[in-house]
Amino acid sequence: MFEEVPPFKDRADAGQQLAVKLEKYRGKDAVILALPRGGVAIGGEIASSLNLPLDIIPVRKIGHPFNPEYAIAALTSDGHIVLGTNELPDVDKEWLEEESKHQQLEAQRRREVYSRGRAPKKITGKIAIVVDDGLATGLTMQAAVWEIKQKNPKKIIVAVPVAPADTAEKISKDVDKVTTVLSPINFLGAIGAYYENFEQVSDEQVIKIIDENQNSRHAGRNQSQRP
């Protein structure tokens, strides 16, 4: 553990620190794509700092039946699944199928609830900056990257406050760049260990962050169109 306090006070602080690392994308044709829920709090800070549009990419982790926090697979809202390797032979196949259906429905629910009727942002030909509050196994990020690739962006940049060095290296093979604030060789085992405050983000908070980004950009467009 850390001798004094963790490097990030909360997700807002982590998002602000990460935004500094992403400064070169200011003014670029880029979209922030955040993984709900915690990633949206990070993505909102980056989008606000760099004046970029914000959207979600609602992939879902499938946790081990005896340790739900430990990811053994992840899937997209359209059902594409990314599998881990070590524990799958020991997991009941019927349970995995049912849990996959459950998590796919939750991903679809989040898209519907958070978007509030708005169409997903177009990312074809754009720089997609994919954001979460941290990586551990990297499975949910791999699922997000797979889904984004189907939409033919110009580049995919993965941006997280913290990721184990080996996970960051693994993800970097599938994207144009991985940007982190911290990439420790000796990972502490949980993303929350790097935050002083790592409280769960609610649906209401996610909706508020997305709405604020939408309203801010709408107001900015109106301002620029005034004579």
Query: By CB neighbour count within 10 A (0-12 exposed, 13-18 middle, 19+ buried), where does 28 fall?
Result: middle
pLDDT at residue 225, as a whole number: 47
2-11 pLDDT, tens digit each: 556 799 999 9
Q: Estimate to the nearest angstrom the gap between the alpha carbon of 8 and the chain centroid.
A: 17
Question: Are residues 45 and 61 in contact, defined by beta-carbon separation less than 8 angstroms?
Answer: no
Backbone angles phi, psi at 85, to 5 degrees: -125, -40
Distance CA 117, CA 133 (A): 25
pLDDT at residue 87, as a whole number: 61
pLDDT at residue 216, as a whole number: 85
At 97, the amino acid letter reads: E
Distance CA 168, CA 158 (A): 9
Fold for the domain defined by 11-55+123-225: Rossmann fold (3.40.50)
pLDDT at residue 223, as a whole number: 52
> pTM, whole model, 2 decimals?
0.91
Q: Extract the residue ranges of the chain whose pLDDT is less than 50.
A: 222, 224-226
Tokens of 120: 């997903």
At 201, the amino acid letter reads: V
Tokens of 190: 């949980």
pLDDT at residue 68, as a whole number: 82
